[in-house]
Amino acid sequence: MRSTWAIFKKELRAYFLSPVAYAVAGVFLLLSGYFFSVIMLTTRTAEMRAAFGNMSIVLIFVVPLLTMRLLAEEVRQGTAELLLTCPLRSTHIILGKYLASLVLYLAMLAMTGIYPWVLLRFGNPDPGPIISGYLGIFLLGASFLAVGLFASSVTDSNIVAAMVAFGLLLLLWVLGWAGEALGGRLGDVLTSLALFERLNDFRKGIIDSSNCLHYLSYIVGFLFLAGLGLERRRWG
């Protein structure tokens, strides 16, 4: 646990010292702020349902850039050789890095807190769907980060890692549509894999434990795969 903490601290410091994190967070806030304002001004309703939907799409572009260097960079600059020859389990490395990216993501979400503040200040929004919506978008982003970390574990190039993560997330996005269109057994399988459809309940104000569990199993699954990716030398 102590080693996880050490990796976590190092990674978080690296985030806050690197311009990439600021640029990515800035773009995320710019786009989600734009969507929030435009939707609010056009619909004139004090709610965030549509804003959460748009935020989830922005995350597809943003998350790969946050996670791309987490493991790929270690291999590229040779520091993986340090981490993998120290008395550390790869679980410690993966967890420390994942938690650091999660904290950065939480900080980004916290900064969007200004949207509900504006709604509360000038309108009379129903707080339920906003709170559940935030939980949903947090879980969705947390799943994305796990996918991104996995993508970073299979390569030593940041660009390739970002591209793989981007491709996987985009695929998960369109998977849901195919599921609905196909129907039948195959459709069910595809729908059950989908990540975005699970957000709908949260946006409506419903916190369903099965949806939470769905996201959690995505996170655990992809973190496990990332561990395998990190140790790929062991099988090669």
Partner 1 sequence: MIVAVDLTKYYGRTRGVEGLNFRVEAGEVVGFLGPNAAGKTTTMRLITGYMPPTRGSVRVCGYDALEEDLEAKGCLGYLPEHPPLYPDMTVKAYLEFVAEIKGLRGSARRSALEKVVESVGLAPVWGRLCANISRGFRQRVGLAQALLGDPPVLILDEPTSGLDPRQIIEVRRLIKSLAGKHTVIISSHILPEVSMVCTRVMIMDRGHVVAVDKPEELARRLTGSRDITLKVKGDRSVARRVLESIPGVSEVLDGPEGRLVVRSQREVDVREEIFRSLARADLPLLEMVPRDLTLEDVFLRLTTDEEGVEAHA
Q: Which residues bind partner 1 (CB under 8 A)?
A: 2-3, 6-7, 9-10, 13-14, 17-18, 77-89, 233-234, 236
Please choose, from the candidates 7, 9, 6, 5, the residue with its C-alpha nearest in 3D space to the C-alpha of residue 230: 7
Encode 64-84: b = buried (16+ Cβ within 10 Å), e = exposed.
Answer: bbbbbbbbbbbbeeeebeebb
Determine the residue type at 180: E
Closest CB to partner 1 among 46 and 99?
Answer: 99
Closest CB to partner 1 among 18 and 37?
Answer: 18
> Residue 77 corresponds to which tokens in the numbers above?
């600059």
Min. distance of Cβ 221 from partner 1 in angstroms? 25
> Residue 127 corresponds to which tokens in the numbers above?
């707080």
Min. distance of Cβ 80 from partner 1 in angstroms? 8
Closest CB to partner 1 among 73 and 201?
Answer: 73
Give the Cα separation of 69 and 149 in Å (integer). 9
Min. distance of Cβ 28 from partner 1 in angstroms? 22
Min. distance of Cβ 108 from partner 1 in angstroms? 21
Min. distance of Cβ 95 from partner 1 in angstroms? 13
Closest CB to partner 1 among 87 and 184?
Answer: 87
Min. distance of Cβ 74 from partner 1 in angstroms? 9
In a 13 Å sphere around the CA of 162, the CA atoms on its Cβ side amount to: 15
Closest CB to partner 1 among 86 and 206?
Answer: 86
What residue spans of the chain are helical by DSSP H? 2-17, 19-43, 49-67, 69-76, 80-83, 90-111, 114-122, 127-153, 158-182, 184-193, 197-204, 209-230, 232-235
Closest CB to partner 1 among 15 and 144?
Answer: 15
